[in-house]
């Protein structure tokens, strides 16, 4: 029997004094049932020979269990729970036979014995049924626990390795589960914590080192043995781990405090436990009666909702946007799959009636979470209109995934567009959010709103399941032992009837146990056996030796990672040892992959590298041979690369998708592939990978390569993280600066302006410090940074940089002839004129139209002189100047430039090139200004459709085209259509650009105009009032335009006099700050409004002063004396309403 009575208590001797308390001792892993408590010098077993059990009326019991099966590698598949349940069963039986089931219990536990007890008490407390109440008696009767050297938070790796009896083979998988931060121990602690308030607890820890073999230190340190809890006693004992529970006499170190603690608990136990039993019995009886009277008929299940998984055999799948397939060797988890399908199919509860169904699969890395989800969606995709996969290993990757989704849907490549598009779908869809492991990530922002979808999340973070799962979760650790065995045999190609027998299954079970039943480790092990590196019967022996070596490395502290890494390391070292070219290339490719992102590594990256490096003046020193051999033909290069891929695939080190032509690695393997490298090798391969990616990026950013460059973003993110870790002062060399500049260009091309801005600032800082502020490479990076500020509408920063660039180019003139010009302070060499052209568009954006015109004319003249009128650089300057002319109302000049630019860009770049579309848009607005409205509608409408097709419906430039098109519709008398279009894009602008973006002001002001033309004055006034408050830039023409519109609307609402202050403020800004011209129609419109106010209030003197302040006003008023409408009415009316009427509208259209 596993329980030995150490006291004199005889349950059959009724004449003896009946003990009032049971003292139960539970030993640890490394000593036996009695040896644990026996002093080796005196052979005194203190619980029997020293402790006064008769005096204190205590029965002392020692519990024993088999430790050999736990410590022996491959010995048993049993975990802690089976031992815990056996302990409860045996203790219940022992106490039941002596009719002492309600007697108080005090436990004394050494080492692992405390872990066993904690799990046992959790099991006991959960025994609620009428037929298992006897098991609960242990929990109810427990009064106090002495934890002596119990590793609540785990043991150090060195301690476990030192205590292992197998020097070559190392510790068992069970021993490794006791490592610090072990998920097994964490789960037990989480389960036990709610029960602690029921017990009196004392923690004891060792204060002397243990020396065993090569180990010297504390087996269980204080932090692990005595966690800080409220209302818990803590005490250190001056002994090592073994000696802390051995006492030779009553004065021995530690015995007095242990004895005093026990005596105190013994005295208080009877009263406390007796009271607890009195409280417990009515509860048990009430529960028993409740069970008996429960109705037997279950309510009928509700009908499945439209968002449950359909049982219709018809396949409704239209979109399957998943770039990976499940492994050919995947097996098992069928019950999980059935439960998951049932959870998704069940009717929605009231609490989630307006939310998506979210199911979370969490657990260890390598436990098969991703493969399970891949297999599930493959089996069930016919039930969903769309299936989508998002890599959530970082926020950047998740947002990029949604942006790709939006681009494929034709909405524009932005995160907001993607998540909104999926939220708006009425058909059932499935979204898998994979690798959401970052504890700092707010995963909820990746949950589309609504209730038409199913969301499946994989994560290592159990908190995600607790906080975000709405319909359930699975915790994946190891597989079921039988399924794990089958997976190993299948992966090893030993699963058929011919190759599989009882002996091979038994060998496979032992291997599966030591691999922790982890799916990824089993797959790697199977590949090793399949490739004949080790046979099935020899694998475990060699594996254990390899694992011990891996565990000795400081970078591995987790047993599960050790299992995966060891199974990966065995075949990889064999590949490293092979001399053939294929195998050498495979090793080199793996080192490159280690610094890329682990998902979707495109095969085309190698081709792009070879193409760009061939003929380029690029040093390939330090690059592997597969990258250096540029003399190979394309077919030879591809064949060599695919042979390397095949080697890695054959050993299950990477996955290769032939359809997508891309590779992927498991995250745990990917991390280890970097960590295993020595510092110098780490730096070499990081540098090589960075150089390779940068080399793939053309400086010209050709449109044909845009999709390929977008695929590089996740890999750029990955190398940047490693670079910043390895080089804190990045960049540290000219080469690194060049690479960062290229990465910034890809970010900028894909609208990731802030990431690009951050990189370029670092590049500029390094180049200015090492090369000089005026060096051409520094200036090039500054030019790109200015462009990024422009796209972020950070106008002040943009203009500041461009002014500095202009001065630099003024100083730096490449030849003497550039100085021999009159006047010399107005140079016209090309670099200076390009800087002028850039400044032209920024000054236009800033509203400095007169200055923009002056700068733009100099740029066009200089570039035309040196490059000719057909050069794309000259055309760009002409476009910028033409746009400025348009906003200065010099429509004829604007038209001439824009017609020329459109014609030549169509010839050079094509009709749908972004630059051509930009020019066509401006030409359409020019037609609009001339009153050629039908032609404007056709041109702007065509641009709108082209941008929808090439950029997506929610791209900023597409939205810009919508606004321009709405203006044309208003002037065609189709105001309601314009209003609908503008109202529809307001939420899009909000989520893609933001409430404070200038694009929102542009959208709202045009919506207000459409409302005004539709005579919806109140709605127009509400919008314009908000815009006037929000827009604080007093000296910008757009503010003048908005304020004038607000004045016009209020006049139409009969609020003429209320506009006086606004008119005075605007006129003051115009006359003093020259925001717009004094002869601009808006200026005269403001003055006309003031004259009307003064006339109504008979303030003739102020009218005279106004005419004196504004030259030409009197003449303008005389000209308009016969006009029916005010200037504002004509400016803000639809042009269709002004046909045939004299006045300003007709003059503008001429």
> Does domain 3-283 match CATH 3.40.50.1820?
yes
* DSSP-derived secondary structure letter, 1136: G
Q: Quote the DSSP letter at residue 705.
A: G
Q: Which two tokens stand for residue 583?
A: 């195998």
Percent of the chain's residues with pLDDT above 70 = 91
Distance, CA of 763 to CA of 740 (rounded, Å): 7
Q: 491 with 526: CB under 8 angstroms? A: yes
Cα distance from N-terminal residue to C-terminal residue, the chain: 110
Q: Which CATH architecture has domain 940-1027?
A: Alpha Horseshoe (1.25)
Dump pLDDT digits (tens) for 782-832: 999 999 999 888 999 999 999 999 999 998 877 767 776 777 778 889 999
CA–CA gap between residue 130 and residue 289 (Å, rounded): 10
Q: pTM for this structure? A: 0.79
Q: Are 224 and 180 in contact (CB under 8 A)?
A: yes
Q: How sure is the predictor about 349, in pLDDT bands with cuts at 50, 70 and 90?
A: confident
Model pLDDT, residue 1069:
86
Cα separation, 695 vs 211, in Å, equals 56
The closest of 155, 142, 152, 115 to 28, measured between CA atoms, is 115
- Record: fold of 320-476: Rossmann fold (3.40.50)
Q: Are 669 and 568 in contact (CB under 8 A)?
A: yes
Q: What are phi and psi of 585, to 5 degrees?
A: -65, -40
Per-residue confidence (pLDDT) for residue 821, from 0 to 100:
76
The number of residues in the chain equals: 1150
Find the DSSP H helices in 930-1016: 933-950, 956-971, 975-992, 998-1013
- Res 1111: pLDDT: 86
8-34 residue pLDDT tens: 765 555 555 688 999 999 999 999 999
| Local structure of residue 436 (DSSP, 8 states) | -
List pLDDT tens digits, range 509-545. 888 888 888 888 898 899 889 988 899 988 888 888 8
Percent of the chain with pLDDT over 90: 55
- What pLDDT is attached to residue 567? 87
Q: Would you state the pLDDT for residue 1140?
A: 46
Arithmetic mean of pLDDT, 217-229: 92
Cβ-contact 556, 566 below 8 angstroms: no
Q: Is the predicted pLDDT of residue 207 greater than 80, yes or no?
A: yes
What's the pLDDT score for residue 744? 96
| Per-residue model confidence (pLDDT) at position 1146 | 34
Q: By mean pLDDT, which of 397-411, 620-634, 1020-1034 is the weakest?
A: 620-634
Domain 793-930 has CATH 1.25.40.10: yes
Average pLDDT, the chain: 87
Q: What is the average per-residue pLDDT within 909-938?
A: 93
Task: Assess contact for 560 and 186: CB atoms under 8 A.
Answer: no
1143 — pLDDT class (breaks 50, 70, 90): very low
Q: Are 616 and 608 in contact (CB under 8 A)?
A: no
pLDDT at residue 327, as a whole number: 81
Distance CA 795, CA 798 (A): 5
Report the candidate in 373, 351, 273, 354 with the shortest Cα–Cα distance to residue 307: 354
Helix (H/G/I), strand (E/B), else coil: 142: strand
Q: For the chain, give me the number of helices (H) and strands (E)?
A: 49, 18
Tokens read off for 935: 């032609």
**pLDDT interval class at 891 (50, 70, 90):** very high
Reference 353, options 451, 478, 209, 222; nearest CA is: 451
Instruction: Supply the pLDDT for residue 2.
Output: 86
Tokens of 600: 């979707």
pLDDT value at position 719? 96
Q: Which is more confident, 561 or 735?
A: 735
Question: Residue 426 class from Cβ within 10 Å (0-12 exposed, 13-18 middle, 19+ buried)?
Answer: exposed
The crossing angle, in degrees rounded to 10, of helices 581-593 and 559-577 is 140
Residue 1145 has pLDDT above 80, yes or no: no
Contacts within 8 Å (CB) and 24+ apart, 402-409 = 402/446, 403/750, 404/710, 405/321, 406/952, 406/954, 407/952, 408/321, 409/952
CA separation, residue 484 to residues 316, 669, 1029 (Å): 34, 20, 67
Render pLDDT for 121-131 as a digit per residue (tens, 0 to 9).
999 998 877 67
DSSP 212-242: ETTEEE-SS-HHHHS---TT-EEEEESS-TT
The reported pLDDT for the residue numbered 551 is 79
Identical fold between 3-283 and 320-476: yes
**Residue 574 phi/psi, 5° resolution?**
-65, -40
pLDDT one-digit tens code per residue, 262-317: 999 999 999 999 999 988 876 655 555 554 444 444 333 333 344 444 444 467 88
DSSP 303: P
- Indicate the domain borders of the chain: 3-283, 320-476, 481-577, 793-930, 940-1027, 1031-1150
Question: Considering only CA atoms, which of 516, 446, 487, 195 is closest in space to residue 329?
Answer: 487
**Across residues 411-424, what is the average pLDDT?**
89
Residues 459-507: tens digit of each pLDDT: 988 899 989 999 999 988 888 888 889 999 999 988 765 556 788 888 9
pLDDT number for residue 1142: 42
């Amino acid at each position: 029997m596993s329980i030995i009575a150490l006291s004199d208590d005889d349950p059959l001797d009724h004449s003896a004094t009946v003990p009032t308390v049971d003292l139960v001792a539970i030993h640890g892993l490394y000593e036996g049932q009695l040896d644990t408590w026996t002093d080796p010098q005196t052979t005194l077993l203190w619980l029997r020979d020293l402790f006064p059990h008769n005096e204190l009326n205590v029965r002392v019991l020692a519990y024993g269990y088999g430790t050999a099966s736990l410590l022996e590698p491959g010995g048993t598949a049993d975990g802690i729970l089976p031992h815990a349940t056996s302990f409860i069963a045996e203790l219940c039986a022992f106490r039941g036979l002596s009719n002492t089931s309600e007697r108080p219990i005090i436990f004394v536990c050494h080492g692992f014995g405390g872990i066993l007890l904690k799990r046992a008490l959790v099991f006991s407390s959960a025994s609620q049924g009428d037929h298992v109440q006897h098991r609960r008696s242990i929990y109810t009767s427990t009064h106090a626990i002495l934890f002596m050297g119990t590793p609540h938070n785990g043991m150090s790796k060195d301690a476990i390795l030192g205590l292992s009896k197998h020097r070559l083979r190392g510790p068992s998988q069970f021993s490794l589960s006791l490592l610090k931060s072990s998920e097994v121990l964490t789960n037990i602690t989480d389960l036990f914590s709610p029960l602690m308030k029921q017990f009196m607890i004392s923690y004891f820890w060792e204060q002397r080192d243990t020396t065993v073999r090569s180990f010297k230190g504390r087996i269980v340190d204080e932090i692990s043995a005595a966690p800080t809890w409220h209302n818990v006693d803590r005490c250190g004992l001056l002994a090592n781990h073994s000696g802390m529970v051995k006492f030779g006499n009553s004065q021995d170190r530690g015995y007095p405090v242990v004895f005093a603690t026990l005596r105190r608990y013994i005295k208080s136990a009877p009263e406390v436990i007796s009271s607890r039993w009195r409280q417990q019995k009515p509860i048990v009886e009430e529960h028993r009666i409740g069970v008996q009277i429960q109705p037997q008929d279950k309510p009928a299940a509700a009908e499945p909702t439209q968002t449950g998984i359909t049982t219709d055999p018809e396949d409704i799948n239209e979109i399957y946007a998943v770039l990976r397939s499940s492994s050919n060797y995947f097996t098992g988890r069928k019950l999980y799959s059935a439960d998951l399908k049932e959870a998704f199919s069940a009717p929605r509860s009231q609490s989630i009636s307006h939310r998506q169904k979210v199911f979370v699969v969490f657990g260890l890395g390598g436990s098969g979470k991703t493969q399970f989800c891949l297999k599930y969606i493959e089996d069930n995709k016919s039930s969903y209109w769309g299936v989508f996969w998002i890599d959530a290993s970082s926020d950047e990757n998740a947002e990029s995934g949604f942006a790709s989704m939006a681009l494929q849907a034709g909405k524009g490549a932005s995160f907001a567009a993607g998540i909104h598009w999926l939220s708006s779908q009425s058909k059932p869809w499935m979204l898998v959010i994979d690798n959401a492991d970052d504890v700092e990530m707010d995963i909820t922002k990746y949950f589309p709103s609504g209730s038409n979808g199913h969301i499946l999340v994989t994560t290592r973070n159990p908190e995600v399941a607790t906080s975000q799962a709405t319909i359930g979760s699975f915790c994946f650790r190891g597989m079921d032992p039988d399924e794990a065995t089958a997976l190993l045999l299948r992966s090893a190609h030993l699963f058929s009837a011919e190759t599989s027998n009882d002996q091979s299954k038994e060998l496979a079970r032992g291997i599966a146990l030591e691999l922790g039943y982890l799916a990824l480790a089993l797959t790697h092990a199977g590949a090793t056996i399949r490739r004949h590196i080790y046979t099935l019967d020899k694998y475990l022996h060699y594996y254990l030796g390899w694992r011990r070596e891996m565990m000795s490395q400081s970078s591995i502290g987790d047993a599960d990672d050790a299992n995966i890494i060891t199974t990966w390391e065995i075949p990889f070292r064999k590949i490293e040892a092979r001399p053939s070219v294929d195998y050498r290339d495979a090793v080199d490719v793996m080192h490159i992959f280690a610094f890329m992102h682990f998902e979707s590594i495109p095969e085309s990256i190698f081709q792009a590298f070879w193409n760009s490096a061939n003929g380029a003046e690029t040093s390939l020193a330090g690059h592997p041979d597969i990258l250096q051999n540029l003399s190979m033909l394309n077919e030879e290069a591809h064949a060599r690369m695919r042979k390397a891929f095949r080697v890695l695939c054959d050993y299950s080190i990477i996955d290769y998708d032939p359809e997508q032509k891309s590779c992927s690695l498991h995250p745990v393997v990917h991390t280890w592939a970097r960590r295993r490298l020595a510092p110098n090798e780490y730096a070499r391969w990081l540098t090589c990978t960075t150089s390779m990616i940068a080399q793939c990026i053309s400086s010209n950013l050709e449109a044909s390569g845009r999709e390929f460059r977008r695929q590089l973003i996740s890999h750029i993110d990955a190398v940047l993280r490693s670079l910043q870790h390895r080089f804190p002062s990045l960049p540290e060399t000219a080469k690194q600066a060049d690479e960062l500049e290229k990465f910034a260009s890809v970010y900028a091309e894909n609208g990731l302006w802030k990431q690009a801005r951050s990189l370029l600032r670092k590049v500029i800082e390094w180049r200015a410090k090492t090369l000089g502020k005026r060096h051409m490479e520094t200036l090039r990076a500054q030019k790109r940074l200015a462009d990024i500020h422009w796209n972020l509408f950070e106008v002040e920063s943009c203009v500041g940089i461009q002014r500095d660039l202009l001065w630099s180019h003024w100083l730096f003139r490449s030849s003497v002839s550039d100085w021999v010009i009159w006047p010399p302070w107005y140079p016209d060499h090309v670099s200076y004129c390009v800087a002028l052209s850039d400044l032209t568009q920024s000054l236009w954006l800033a509203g400095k139209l007169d200055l923009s015109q002056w700068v733009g004319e100099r740029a066009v003249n200089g570039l035309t002189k040196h490059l000719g009128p057909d050069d794309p650089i000259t055309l760009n300057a002409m476009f910028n100047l033409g746009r400025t002319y348009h906003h200065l109302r010099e429509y004829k000049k604007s038209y001439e430039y824009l017609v020329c630019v459109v014609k030549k860009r169509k010839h050079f770049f094509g009709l749908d090139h972004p630059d051509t579309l930009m020019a066509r848009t401006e030409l359409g607005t020019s037609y609009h200004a001339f009153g050629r409205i039908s032609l404007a509608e056709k041109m702007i409408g065509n641009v709108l459709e082209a941008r929808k097709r090439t950029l997506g419906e929610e791209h900023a430039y597409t939205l810009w085209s919508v606004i321009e098109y709405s203006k044309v519709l208003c002037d065609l008398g189709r105001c309601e259509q314009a209003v609908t279009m503008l109202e529809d894009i307001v939420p899009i602008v909000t989520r893609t650009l933001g409430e404070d973006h200038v694009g929102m002001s542009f959208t709202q002001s045009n919506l207000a105009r459409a409302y005004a033309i539709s005579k919806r004055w109140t709605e127009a006034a509400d919008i314009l009032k908000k815009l006037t408050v929000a827009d604080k830039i007093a000296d910008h023409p757009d503010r003048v335009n908005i304020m004038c519109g607000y004045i016009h609307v209020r006049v139409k609402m009969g609020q003429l006099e209320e506009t006086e202050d606004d008119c005075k403020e605007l006129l003051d800004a115009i006359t003093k700050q020259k925001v717009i011209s004094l002869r601009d129609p808006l200026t005269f419109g403001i003055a006309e409004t003031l004259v009307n106010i003064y006339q109504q209030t008979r303030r003739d003197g102020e009218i005279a002063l106004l005419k004196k302040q504004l030259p030409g006003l009197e003449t303008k008023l005389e000209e308009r004396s016969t006009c029916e409408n005010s200037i504002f009415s004509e400016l803000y009316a639809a042009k269709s309403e002004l046909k045939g009427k004299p006045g300003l509208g007709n003059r503008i259209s001429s």
